[in-house]
Structure 1
Amino acid sequence: MRRTPCGRRWLHASLAAALLAAGAPALLAQTESFDELVKRLQREKPAFAKRQQDLLAQRYDLSDRPAQGVTMSRGKPVQQGVRVRLPQGVTWQQLAALPPDEIKRRRLWPQGFLPLPHPHHEAGGMIFPQPLIDETKRQTARDLTRFDLDFDLPQHLLPEFPAPIFLTTRPDLGDVSKGQLVTLDNFQALFKDVLNPKQLEGLRLLVTPFPQQQFNATDDRRSLRPHLGVACFDCHANGHTNAATHTVGDIRPDALRHRIDTPSLRGVNVQRLFGSQRALKTVEDFTEFEQRAAYFDGDHSAAARKGVNVLERGSQVHFMGEFQALLDFPPAPKLDVTGRLDPAKATPAELRGEKVFNGKGQCSSCHMPPYYTDNLMHNLRTERFYEEGITFNGRKAMQDGPIKTFPLRGIKDSPPYLHDDRLMTLEDTVEFFNLVLGVKLSDQEKQDLVAFLRTL
């Protein structure tokens, strides 16, 4: 094994995967300089991008079809319609009439309801939508581009960017971001007259970049130049989400790791569980865990080498948590003080949808008003519907396990849905749970339920 001029040894990804699959020690490596690494991964990039786009096209209709007159909080159109493609020769109503074992035996489970792989599942790591990359670079000259891969989903299916910020302490101000992406460059000007000193310091830390697995100063990074790192608000842009994705750090091997959706931080003050599967008990636990472990794919040795940011629990973590607890849900003018529809403001379809939500649809068994969560974990056992072990684009379809109940307040602002982004629209989500819960909703009931969800 030869050495590069800099004396470092690098792991060739495809060779390492083959060795590990064969049970060989992970320490076996092929020498590769950083320049060679960049050139190889850039050569491989188009093939992996095409592989992912082919899978998305096979699973979904990704066309731009906005719903008439339905927008997110700042006016971005909400996409409508079921986007998951059905198996040939079967309708949604026919599928819903079959028991899980029959769907499994006949292999009728829609591919779009299987776990969604990361844009390059074998490589994994943080990857950001282009608008966030462009605006961050414009404001701060920090480039979040990866030389080995790009984000995979089209912009019209993602949350609006930048998202508005609503504060529990100052609802009178409306969107305190004033339509800007909050970064280290502008947070002081936007918030100095709104927050107290602790909250302002917490926000500063949330927009400060720190080393992360793919963005750091080591030569095994995935940025062309040595990098300061990423900030909490690079994924949770403006305290919401921009649909940036990653792979979970607490599952091995890589084929079983979940793609993870970036959840909104809106309403964390009413939540009691954090992380889609980890069941962290406070927002402070979540904040510290992300910096110490999730930033580095759960590898503490990599964290030490790349420059982990060890936050001080009594002040820094506390200040960050205090600001996050101020992030409010967007206004929902059709809801009353109990979180239910005001009959004087709602349409007949929305009122019918609320009855489905609380009755036949069984949605309220987990998503209870006023915030539409039960602060628990639930195992949907989707593996009832398909043969486990199917592999696609480096991801093996296995059981999801217990998943946190996310609040549904402001849900139309947060596509795509489920913990790994596999559901593109609210209509997809309704069809998914109609099968998982076996409630056999009619077409009209599904439409009414979507109408209700848009009011939350």
Structure 2
Amino acid sequence: MRLSQSPRRRPWILLAAGALGACGVAIAADPPTSYMPVVIKETFAAIKARMERDKPAVERRQRSLLEQRYDLSDQPVRGLRMSGGKPVQGGVRVRLPAGASWEQLAAMTPEQIRERDLFPAGFLPLPHPNHAEGGMVFPKFHIEAVKRAEQRDLTRFDLDFDLPDHFLPDFPAPIYLTTRPDLGDVSKGQLVTINNYYELFNGVLNPKQLEGLRLLVTPFAQQQFNQTEDRRSALPSRGVACLDCHSNGHTVAATHLVGDIRPQPFRHRIDTPTLRGVNVQRLFGSQRALKTVEDFTEFEQRAAYFDGDPVIATKKGINILDRGHQVHAMGEFQAILDFPPAPKLDLFGKLKPGASDAQKRGQELFFGKAQCSACHAPPYYTDNSMHNLQVERFFKPQTINGRFAAMDGPIKTFPLRGIKDSPPYLHDGRLLTLEDTVEFFNVVLQTRLEPQEKDDLVAFLRAL
């Protein structure tokens, strides 16, 4: 399985193969390969024309999948906003299978749910907007902001982002620093780019941190955005910056496919995680094999930007960073990105006396019946470990828009501090709201929460 769309075979090759097959001669299929094609047989104009022609059908297929899975309507929670002011979406958005209720599912065994095909479609792995093609895809609002700021275009001619804007994080997101909590949002409501980072942070950061930030907002060549004929931008591109996905050190929920799994149908969609609180984390990368943020930063530039293929990286413009100077500087800036303020939490990460009754009940559930604290320990609500939920117990293997859904494997315990600022949820963004997330874990962990208990647990999560 090739990682990008392969050039079409010449008709005479297909005719010859058919003739030989009719004569009983065995025809060997293309052997599996871990590498992308380096020599492209189509012109850029032909690739672009073909993909633009196919784009409407690809997007209709993904939109249909999302509408079958979720209620995508705009339903913000009254009086609740993210740290930057964006309304928080509420309610369970995953659609139930016909004839089932959440209470019935929670009372069934995994085997019963699997055999009766009752696992909600919204709980299954979420495919990339075009899983066979893959690559970085950015929300439209971020693309437009980067164009205004830098005249750099992150539009793909073959594909647009799939999830509606109201399910995505604040933009531009506030930036909080562990070194200067007195300043509040140091971004001053602006999207930090190569054009304004110095003005905003000179005098706030030390010289090493400032240099690290400069590199984090500098565009470098990437698989879809570069100068080659197999790019996915209309014009040759300067590339992508680290803070395009991790906008303002947070996230715009940009998506991609993990670089460390083959073949293509098995690769997981990535919901870009926030960089807030990265200083308290000890595992990095899609399969969490990297142990420091410096390791992750270097890996991103050398391989992850190019779907984990160092051969294609050489063709497209690998950016090899100096570990002692550049990588450490980038890591030092990332390490001072703080979680948003949580005025209802004490220094141990627990609720202060002034919290609401619902939040207090939710906290008791979190550390008790709901079993959340088994993985999410205060004060940052992570155990810096990985856990395999074995969700495949609940459904039969199936292919969903090019994604072979069989198992997720071990997944990192992400911090829950500031979690209301970071939708959508789970590693691939399959859960749109915190209510969806509570329903998912109630079924998967079989905790049998009552409706009021679910509401209370969401109330507590929103206070973190």
TM-score (norm 2): 0.93
Map of 1:386 onto structure 2: 395
Map of 1:6 onto structure 2: none
Q: 1:276 to 1:406 in 2, by over 3 A?
A: farther
Aligned counterpart in structure 1 of residue 450 of structure 2, from 425, 431, 442: 442
Deviation at 1:12, TM superposition (A): 2.5
Check whether the contact 2:249–2:334 (CA below 8 A) recurs between aligned residues. yes
Aligned counterpart in structure 1 of residue 404 of structure 2, from 375, 383, 396: 396
Root-mean-square deviation (CA), in Å?
A: 1.7
Aligned counterpart in structure 2 of residue 224 of structure 1, from 229, 234, 238: 234
Secondary structure at 1:134 match in 2: helix
Check whether the contact 1:12–1:29 (CA below 8 A) recurs between aligned residues. no
Measured in 1, the distance between the counterparts of 2:121 and 2:385 equals 28
Q: Is 2:144 the partner of 1:134?
A: yes
Q: Is 2:355 the partner of 1:360?
A: no
Secondary structure at 1:70 match in 2: strand
Map of 2:461 onto structure 1: 453
Matched ranges for 1:47-126 at <5 A: 47-126=57-136
Secondary structure at 2:463 match in 1: coil
Check whether the contact 2:82–2:420 (CA below 8 A) recurs between aligned residues. yes
Measured in 2, the distance between the counterparts of 1:176 and 1:126 equals 27
Q: Is 2:179 the partner of 1:169?
A: yes
Measured in 2, the distance between the counterparts of 1:127 and 1:13 equals 24
Aligned counterpart in structure 1 of residue 7 of structure 2, from 12, 15, 37: 12
Q: Is 2:410 the partner of 1:415?
A: no
Amino acid at match of 2:7: H
Q: Is 2:219 the partner of 1:209?
A: yes
Measured in 2, the distance between the counterparts of 1:38 and 1:267 equals 40
- C-alpha deviations, 1:291-326, integer Å up to 9, x for none? 111100011100001010001101100000000001
Aligned counterpart in structure 2 of residue 252 of structure 1, from 262, 272, 276: 262
Secondary structure at 1:368 match in 2: coil
Check whether the contact 2:84–2:174 (CA below 8 A) recurs between aligned residues. yes
Measured in 1, the distance between the counterparts of 2:386 and 2:297 equals 20
Check whether the contact 2:258–2:286 (CA below 8 A) recurs between aligned residues. no
Map of 2:23 onto structure 1: none
Deviation at 1:30, TM superposition (A): 8.0
Map of 2:351 onto structure 1: 341
Check whether the contact 1:279–1:404 (CA below 8 A) recurs between aligned residues. no
Deviation at 1:24, TM superposition (A): 4.5
Deviation at 1:80, TM superposition (A): 0.3
Amino acid at match of 1:257: R
- C-alpha deviations, 1:186-228, integer Å up to 9, x for none? 0000000100100000000000000000000111100011111
- C-alpha deviations, 1:397-434, integer Å up to 9, x for none? 01100000000000000000000000000000000000
Amino acid at match of 2:394: F
Secondary structure at 1:438 match in 2: coil
- C-alpha deviations, 1:336-387, integer Å up to 9, x for none? 01100002x2000000000000000000000000000000000000000001
**Gap regions ≥5 residues in structure 2:** 18-27
Q: Report how many aligned residue pairs link the two structures.
A: 442
Deviation at 1:278, TM superposition (A): 2.7
- C-alpha deviations, 1:227-248, integer Å up to 9, x for none? 1110000000000000000001
**Gap regions ≥5 residues in structure 1:** 1-9
- C-alpha deviations, 1:127-150, integer Å up to 9, x for none? 000111001000000000000000
Map of 1:239 onto structure 2: 249
Amino acid at match of 1:373: T
Deviation at 1:276, TM superposition (A): 3.9
Measured in 1, the distance between the counterparts of 2:169 and 2:105 equals 30
Q: 1:272 to 1:30 in 2, by over 3 A?
A: closer
Measured in 1, the distance between the counterparts of 2:84 and 2:325 equals 34
Map of 2:296 onto structure 1: 286
Measured in 1, the distance between the counterparts of 2:75 and 2:370 equals 26
Secondary structure at 2:210 match in 1: helix
Map of 2:44 onto structure 1: 34
- C-alpha deviations, 1:85-131, integer Å up to 9, x for none? 00000100000000001100100000000000000000000000011
Secondary structure at 2:65 match in 1: helix
Check whether the contact 2:74–2:166 (CA below 8 A) recurs between aligned residues. yes
Deviation at 1:68, TM superposition (A): 1.0
Q: Is 2:309 the partner of 1:299?
A: yes
Measured in 2, the distance between the counterparts of 1:186 and 1:25 equals 46
Check whether the contact 2:260–2:287 (CA below 8 A) recurs between aligned residues. no
Secondary structure at 2:429 match in 1: coil
Amino acid at match of 2:344: K
Moved over 6 A (4+): 25-30
